[in-house]
Amino acid sequence: MNRVDNKVAIVTGGGSGIGAATCHLLAEAGASVVVTDINGDSAELTANAILEAGGSAMSLQQDVTSEAGWDIVIDATIKEFSKLNILVNNAGISGAGLPPLEEATLKSWQTVMSVNLDSVFLGTQKAVMAMKEGSGSIINVSSVMGIVGGAGPAYNASKGGVRLLSKSVAVHCGKMGYAIRVNSVHPGYIWTPLVQNLVEFMDEDNMTEEGLREMLTEMHPIGRLGIADDIAKGILFLASDDSSFMTGSELVIDGGYTAV
């Protein structure tokens, strides 16, 4: 079940959180993993941990907003492993601390869009070009905030854009006869550094990390926050042939957040 033996995967934002957990699960399931991150040292730590565990991996520093950077990553992957079968567009920013709608600027809007949406377009386009003579699975990490509102216009719009970009490319690949599946993943609040750091931007006085955790837990009917492996397991499923009849779909892993 959920095996990806002899497949080659690129995971962006692989230095921490959901990205790092995904890299480890893909490697354990048989894939060679290219770990990329804006923080090259973090990417290297993830790749080294995989190698020490007997897996296959390499690391690259990557700014996902750079088209030239994407070309370098794809070319390096093909040079090292001869192919590309899986892309996980995971890198993103929260947009926390940005001004409210009335005070937002075009620059603040574009900052979120460039990382959360433009980069996913670039990665998806480059991956399709690399995969279309063979086969592949592209998994784009969106959010529950790509389905419902409440996180600020730029973040909601960027994550909603990821959802519909994934559907559009899935339809395109099908019409072109490419054996490429494209799906999006929509996590609820996952207890990772990205979420933990939100405490710095809370309006409530004296908000602590534990207080934040309790507040967010109450929003999830399942009674707990997610952990990185909860999402990584869903990504592994979409990367594997066990999800071979899924494309253009959204996999919501949110502890019931969107059911309320």
Catalytic residues: 155
Distance between CA atoms of residues 74 and 55, nearest Å:
20
Closest by CA position to 169, among listed 66, 254, 249:
249
**Count of C-beta atoms within a 10 Å radius of residue 96:** 16
CA 30-72-159 angle, 5° bins: 75
Distance between CA atoms of residues 47 and 28, nearest Å:
12
Q: Which amino acid is at 152?
A: G
- What's the token pair of residue 112? 């979120």
**Residue 13: what are its φ and ψ, rounded to 5°?**
60, 35
Q: Judge whether 121 and 64 are in contact, CB under 8 Å.
A: no
Q: Judge whether 214 and 171 are in contact, CB under 8 Å.
A: no
**What is the CB-side half-sphere exposure of residue 237 using CA atoms within 13 A?**
18
| CA dihedral of residues 70, 110, 38, 141 (deg, nearest 10) | -80
Report H helices in 132-152.
none
Closest by CA position to 166, among listed 180, 149, 145, 156:
180
Distance between CA atoms of residues 119 and 70, nearest Å:
9
